[in-house]
Amino acid sequence: MKVPLLSFTHRYVPGTGTTLKTTLLLLHGTGGSETDLLDLGRELLPGATLLSPRGKVLENGMPRFFRRLAEGVFDLEDLERRTHELADFVREACDAYALDPDGIVAVGYSNGANIAASMLLLRPETLAAAVLFRPMVPMVPSRLPDLKGRSVLVAAGQVDPIANSSQTKKLVEMLSGAGANVAMHKHAGGHELGNDDVAAAQTWIREHVANKEAR
């Protein structure tokens, strides 16, 4: 299939089987690419459509989805602009690939999880659900959106030096306060992903995405 010229360099993998309505929006971490999370996506929900963009911001040559001023200090103006830019890309991709706009599930790691969380806060209509691996609080909106009916899994590392427990707690409280159904998974390690993270996300997706689609 010829890849349409959209606003982000990306990979698209058509869905098969019983999960045709679901598209996993795969959002890599700092230094990643549009291919990094494809295998993870296949593992989390076999047969799902995969849409994986590459972040446009370069930090010392490493792709990211938005700028930061220092470790854990985000350029909030750039974050807001890039969040809308990414949400617009998702809408473009839905038109180009005939995707169900109500079936977009973000799967983000680190920087990718942060911009997915930002989309939930600024452009909530873009996502039906989200799996956030090692997220931080990306920003605090002036007004919380209505996230009722949306489900979110937050997977945190208990000794993560980057996305620490206070950040995780604040994000969970913010999303829950906006009405989202938020579940937590705690990994015994740090910022890296573990097999238990993947297993927890598989179980969560089966319950909140695959089974819902089958009904």
Of 169, 152, 201, nearest in space to 42 by CA: 201
How far is residue 19 from each of residues 27, 128, 182, 203, measured CA to CA in Å? 20, 14, 22, 15
Residue 5 within any structural domain of the chain? no
Residue 2 within any structural domain of the chain? no
What is the largest distance, in Å, between two alpha-carbon atoms of the chain? 47
In angstroms, rounded to a whole number, what is the distance separating the alpha carbons of residues 129 and 28? 17
Mean pLDDT of 211-215: 59
Relative to beta strand 57-59, strand 62-64 is: antiparallel
**Can you give the pLDDT at residue 213?**
60
CB 200 within 8 A of CB 153: yes
In angstroms, rounded to a whole number, what is the distance separating the alpha carbons of residues 162 and 154? 15
**Can you give the pLDDT at residue 214?**
53
Residue 116 within any structural domain of the chain? yes
Q: What does DSSP assign to residue 73?
A: E
Mean pLDDT of 128-136: 97
When pLDDT is cut at 50, 70 and 90, the band that residue 4 belongs to is confident
In angstroms, rounded to a whole number, what is the distance separating the alpha carbons of residues 107 and 42? 12
**Can you give the pLDDT at residue 1?**
56
CATH number of the domain where residue 188 is located: 3.40.50.1820
- Domain hosting 171: range is 10-214
Mean pLDDT of 24-39: 98
Mean pLDDT of the chain: 94
Please list the active-site residues: 110, 160, 191
Residue 173 within any structural domain of the chain? yes
Of 112, 95, 130, nearest in space to 12 by CA: 95
In angstroms, rounded to a whole number, what is the distance separating the alpha carbons of residues 25 and 80? 19
Residue 3 within any structural domain of the chain? no
**Number of structural domains in the chain:** 1
